[in-house]
Chains A and B, each alone.
Chain A
């Protein structure tokens, strides 16, 4: 079974600075998808960014980018120019590309990000 590990329960960053959240995963598959989700205090889960394992290029979405290292099974999230609205719990998630997996997402335990003014 796949597992996802987020080794940083809490992180903090100064407004306008850059922060990197770490994620590692364990899988024997070669084709899969990786995601970062944000959960603000409202508890609504919001998709931040996704990466397809067969793509070498790292995904970017405005101030959010990832560093995907397939051989190392690492998938870190970089937030540039941090804003107060970025404060939230961030979850890393893995999904197999095989149809028998049921498209289920496996989540890490989350990293609580605090943004200091």
Chain B
């Protein structure tokens, strides 16, 4: 079955470390997105990519980086510059503007 796979489900990071969250899709979607979700808040866009080897900053890109070397993969790196990284991270993809997103099951990142 087609879908989006996020890994790991839970991730713990020590202060000062970079960590990378994985997002893989087999839906043949061109566009992929990373959102952050905090308690009591909606989803906020971190980065998005509409095509391989191209990506754009979202609303809260500071302290994050991405790459899009393959259509299927859009990993997110949370760098040590991100001051408050503890959150739930959701990856999504879409075929075109008229359709909704397909979401992964999320990664819960905790700083220890």
Contacts and interface: CB of A to CB of B under 8 A. Distances in A.
Do A and B assemble together? yes
Interface of A: 4, 6, 9, 33, 35, 37, 42-45, 47, 50, 52, 91, 95-99, 101-110
B33 A104 contact: yes
Contact of B42 (A33, A52, A103, A107): A107
Contacts of B103: 44-45
A103 B100 contact: no
Nearest to A48: B100
Contact of A108 (B42, B50, B94, B97): B42
Given A43-B106, A102-B48, A103-B50, A110 B97 contact: no
Given A33-B98, A45-B90, A104 B45 contact: yes
Contact of A102 (B56, B92, B98): B56
B56 A107 contact: no
Contacts of B58: 104
A47 B93 CA distance: 13
Contact of B40 (A45, A98, A101, A109): A109
Interface in B11-56: 31, 33, 35, 40-45, 48, 50, 56
Given A44-B103, A44-B105, A110-B42, A103 B56 contact: no
Interface of B: 31, 33, 35, 40-45, 48, 50, 56, 58, 88, 90, 92, 94, 96-101, 103, 105-106
Given A33-B98, A97-B97, A91 B43 contact: yes
A56 B76 CA distance: 39
Contacts of A37: 100
Contacts of A98: 97
Given A43-B88, A45-B101, A47-B100, 6 more contacts: A91-B42, A91-B43, A104-B45, A104-B48, A105-B92, A106-B45
